[in-house]
Amino acid sequence: DGVTEVLAHRSDNLRDKFIEIPCSEDYDSHRRFEGCTPRKCGRGVTDAVITREEAERIRRIAERGLSLGGSDGGASILDLHSGALSLGKHFVNLYRYFGDKVQDIFTEEDFALYRDVRQRIQQRIAQVFGISSSAMYLTKPTFFSRMNSTGAKTTHDEYWHPHVDKVTYGSFDYTSLLYLSDYSEDFGGGRFVFMDADSNKTVEPRAGRVSFFTSGSENLHRVEKVQWGTRFAITISFTCDPEHGIGDPVLG
């Protein structure tokens, strides 16, 4: 992999770390939204937006939801917005498949916490990039991921390939990840890697840590394969295009 620098060690407690990088041309092929479309690009890491205790509560939501299904391979997905849940080699709609049982698994408090955490992350991104929080919209896919060292059974399990979010999902303008478990304590491998021309920059997950970045080619990235243990995170994505906006998930 060449030279690797660690942007954020698990042991760091970062208030705010931000690195500005030149924007790619990816945004030019999409409609621009004044006051939101990135003019300043970069990547940030903060441990000061979500507490570890809140991250543990959010992880329990993921664990309860994923206990209903789970992939045969190493990566399982739970999307509370669309209801998508990994089950074996496929996905099912959690709300349709389990119906009223969903009420026994999640509570209104779970969804309120999820909403609150999403809003705080949205506000921090807006603040750092100098845009208006109200000009950003939650977009899909926004989902929980659970990764372990089980071999891949389908292409969905192959989470380690380098990719660009704006290219993969045209709607993304800002991507964030909230980590729900600790690197080297809960799992090995599984670090987040920004792949730059001169070197790789890694973020070591830590429960409550938020990593966020503009979604264009300036932030080509991948996740290392998980070697042992279980890594939980939630990807929360934002668009500047109201047509691609989605609402917060609601129970029932």
User: Is 231 noted as a catalytic residue in this protein?
Assistant: yes
Q: Report percent pLDDT > 70 for the chain.
A: 99
pLDDT, residue 60, reads 98
Residue of 207 and 4 predicted with greater confidence: 207
pLDDT, residue 251, reads 84
Q: Are 205 and 191 in contact (CB under 8 A)?
A: yes
At the topology level of CATH, where does 4-30+42-241 sit? Jelly Rolls (2.60.120)
CA neighbor of 187 nearest in space, from 213, 158, 150: 150
Q: Residues 156-207: pLDDT tens digits?
A: 899 999 999 999 999 999 999 999 999 999 999 999 999 999 899 999 999 9
In the chain, where the domains are located: 4-30+42-241
List all residues 6 or more positions away from 217 whose beta carbon is below 8 Å from its beta carbon. Answer: 24, 25, 26, 164, 166, 167
Res. 48 pLDDT band, cuts 50 70 90: very high
pLDDT, residue 3, reads 78
pLDDT, residue 53, reads 98
Half-sphere exposure of 246 (CA within 13 A, CB side): 20
Res. 17 pLDDT band, cuts 50 70 90: very high
For the cut 70, the answer to whether the pLDDT of residue 21 exceeds it is: yes
Res. 24 pLDDT band, cuts 50 70 90: very high
Of the listed 118, 124, 209, 231, which one is catalytic?
231
Give me the residue label for tokens 């491998």.
Answer: 189
pLDDT, residue 2, reads 66
